[in-house]
Chains A and B, each alone.
Chain A
Amino acid sequence: MSVAEMEGVLETPWSGGKSPFAVNSKKLGMWLFIMSDSLTFSALLISYAYVRLFTPDWPRPFEIWPAIAKSSFMTLVLLSSSLTMVLAVAAAYRGQVKRAVWLLIATIACGLAFVVIHATEWVTLIHEGITPWSNPINPAVPLFGGAFFGLTGLHMLHVTLGVVYLGVICWGFNKGKWTAEHVEVSGLYWHFVDLVWMFIFPMLYLLSVNPK
């Protein structure tokens, strides 16, 4: 095979000469992380759905006001943070550093608001006696607390880590240390956190609305 022929082979999409996915390694790595993390959340959500559907006396402690109203507001905050994040990525690629930094700050602020509101809700539930291993509403179903705190706790951990991650990226991008690609990859993580909440909110909150 001549050199020209070998070059031709190596430059076809699936032969290693060119990236078959046309993305950089950071972005591909983040997508692979998202795949694995989504399976963790899927396993938790499916196991939650399993016990939720087939336990007839599953506790339904959430009133429309204030629990559902509060969690709906948290959803609005998280969805809005995704909008600011995607706009920050677009601004970063257009070279509008100042705009991108401000949009990243807005995203971080929304993330922090989400964590604070969520923490106040946890405190309210704990004061009502609901813990990861017990609940006074129906002591026969202690799994309610375990499922609720397990799922929302893992999600809140992701949001908190995301806020730190975005803070670091925001600082580095403002200093010129990192590029728009770094902003985009951090955005993928942030949108994933938002995506997971799109399942946790209806499954955990809306399915546990007080029927009265």
Chain B
Amino acid sequence: MKNTNERPCVINVNGLSKVYGWGAVAFEALKDVDFCAAAGEFVMISGPSGSGKTTLLSILGCVLRPTTGNVTIFGRNVSNARENELPSLRLSLIGFVFQGFNLIASLSASENIALILELRGWEPKNAQGEAAKMLAEVGIAEKVDSLPRDLSGGQRQRVAIARALAGHPPLLLADEPTANLDGQTGLQVTELLKDLARIHGSTVVVVTHDPRIHNLADRIVNLEDGQIKKESL
């Protein structure tokens, strides 16, 4: 476990392993991984396809159970949390940015953002106001009422970032956020993600194999064959 700055570790992963399947077809996606992310840190997890990046992100996002090891997020050991506690943990602690944007097609940009706030208990009127504010923060204030189909890829990812940051969750997880964007847009969107996360005080873990955005990371963790091979600043 390595923490390179003076800020406290808010994500602690110890001895993490994940095995898919069993018997002769068992596949070990993660092997005894130790990992730490400090409060407010912008960490990128890099590595070739099949290295275990997405598996690690899924476990951090509480959507996948580890086979062995402990995962502590903001003091909570989520690896042994009960199944019915996980949705609440995800909702309250984690914002997600997906490779394919994953916006709800029938909801407008602001409704996509307001939805997660309402699930957290915000009054609809306040949630709509906050959603409009978040859209302004990501630079597409005029797209409040637009449906996802009417937005470009970059605009959709901006809405997804606004949704992930809405309500200021302490942890942001992004899965290949530039994969469906051209180089320039990808860079802009990642810069935006980093800036807004810093403003909102969120810790960010980004899974990517896009080298063009590596220079934006506070730290890069390289995964290969389910193991951390190298960490670089």
A binds B: no
